[in-house]
């Protein structure tokens, strides 16, 4: 069981994480670097002169981007372990888990870990004003846990009581609200901030769909291998 | 004992395995996405922003 969880998680997480990292480097990193020019003051939005929307953002930075690849692969491996725990519990309840329905698991994971927190705490472009980071992290975890529990109840609940509770769990963090800054001080043009948020969510969705698919595939394959190894 | 049911039940070993995998997952995400130690934050900075974690 543990071997099956760890092997499936490592393969699925590393694979999906590597693809996520490459997508981020290509689609998100240029937007981030562009925003950092405003964050650092190298460019000034609404200054005396209009600023070109096209800037030299530099190319691939081996250390910085290499670390990003490593940390993205690690992050998705962490996601994979949590997703696989859910898959294992569902399988014990009689659900069939494979690469194809793993896509649904991945979509649910994306909603729980990216979309639900991002719905109120949008992915932060560098330079945005934000409340205390520890408070936001508490809210982030609370939202991930309640959204995950809500989605589980939608998928496996059998009556309206469960589905009603799911709706409450999904809505509550956003009705309560996330920690917000006292004042807005972001120096980054809104066009860059909006593109950053949609790119971050889009790449997250693509990577999570792959993660769910890979996790379901490896979970099933490792399970079949375990079954073949055990004497009947 | 010639037939094994496909649907398995929750044994102590399984509970420990599931708990270990869940804790490992949460620990990894906490380190890559949340711990504010300087070197870790700098190394994971771009990932945290791009993955939607609260940064700074």
pLDDT in tens, chain A (232 residues): 899 999 999 999 999 999 999 999 999 999 999 999 999 988 888 877 888 888 888 888 899 999 999 999 999 999 999 999 999 999 999 999 999 999 999 999 999 999 999 999 999 999 889 999 999 999 999 999 999 999 999 999 999 999 999 999 999 999 999 999 999 988 999 999 999 999 999 999 999 999 999 999 999 999 888 877 765 4
Task: Please give the helix or strand (H or E) that residue A175 lies within, else none.
Answer: helix A160-176
The residue range of the domain holding B39 is 22-56
Residue A171 CA, distance from chain mean position = 19
Greater model confidence, B6 or A6: A6
Chain A positions in Cβ-Cβ contact with residue B46 (cut-off 8 Å): 24, 29, 32, 64-65, 68
A126, A145 contact by CB (below 8 A): no
Question: Number of folded domains in chain B?
Answer: 1
The CA distance from A109 to A53, in Å, is 35
ipTM of the complex in this document: 0.89
The answer to whether the Cα torsion of A117, A121, A127, A131 is positive or negative is negative
In this predicted structure, the answer to whether residue B3 has a pLDDT above a threshold of 60 is: no
* Cβ within 8 Å of residue A199, ≥6 positions away: A27, A28, A31
Report the residue from B14, B16, B28 with minimal CB separation from A77: B28
Domain, as residue range, for A81: 2-229
Shortest distance between the Cα of B2 and any Cα of chain A, in A, equals 6
Residue B15 domain-assigned?
no
Contact residues for A198 (Cβ-Cβ < 8 A; gap 6+): none
Note whether residue B34 is domain-resident.
yes
Confidence at residue A231, expressed as pLDDT on a 0 to 100 scale: 56
Q: Is B10 among the domain residues?
A: no
Closest approach of chain B CAs to the CA of A163, in angstroms? 25
Q: Is the pLDDT of residue B2 over 70?
A: no
Q: Is residue B14 part of a domain?
A: no
Q: Could you say which of A89, A125, A200 has the minimum Cβ distance to residue B18?
A: A89
Q: Is the pLDDT of residue B24 over 70?
A: yes
Write down the pLDDT at residue B4.
52
Say what the pLDDT of residue A42 is.
87
Domain count, chain A: 1
């Amino acid at each position: 069981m543990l071997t099956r969880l760890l092997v499936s998680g490592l393969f699925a997480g590393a694979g999906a994480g590597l693809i996520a990292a490459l997508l981020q480097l290509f689609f998100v990193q240029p937007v981030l670097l562009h925003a950092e020019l405003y964050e650092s003051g190298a460019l000034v939005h609404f200054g005396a002169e209009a600023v070109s929307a096209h800037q030299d953002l530099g190319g691939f930075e081996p250390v910085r981007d290499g670390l990003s690849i490593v940390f993205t692969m690690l992050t998705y491996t962490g996601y994979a372990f949590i997703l696989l725990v859910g898959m294992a519990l569902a399988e014990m309840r009689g659900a069939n888990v494979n690469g194809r329905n793993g896509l649904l698991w991945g979509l649910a994971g994306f909603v729980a870990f990216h979309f639900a927190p991002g719905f109120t705490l949008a992915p932060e472009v560098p330079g945005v004003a934000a409340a205390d980071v520890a408070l936001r992290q508490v809210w982030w975890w609370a939202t991930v846990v309640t959204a995950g529990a809500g989605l589980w109840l939608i998928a496996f609940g059998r009556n309206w009581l469960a589905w009603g509770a799911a709706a409450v769990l999904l809505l509550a963090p956003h009705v309560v609200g996330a920690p917000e800054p006292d004042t807005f001080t972001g120096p980054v043009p809104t066009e860059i901030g909006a593109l950053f948020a949609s790119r971050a969510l889009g790449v997250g969705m693509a990577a999570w769909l792959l993660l769910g698919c890979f996790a379901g595939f490896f979970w099933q394959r490792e399970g079949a291998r375990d079954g073949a190894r055990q004497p009947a | 004992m010639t037939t094994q049911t496909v649907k398995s039940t929750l044994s102590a070993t399984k509970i420990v395995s599931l708990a270990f995998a869940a804790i490992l997952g949460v620990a990894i995400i906490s380190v890559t996405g949340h711990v504010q130690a300087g070197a870790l934050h700098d190394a994971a900075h771009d990932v945290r922003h791009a993955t939607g974690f609260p940064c700074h």
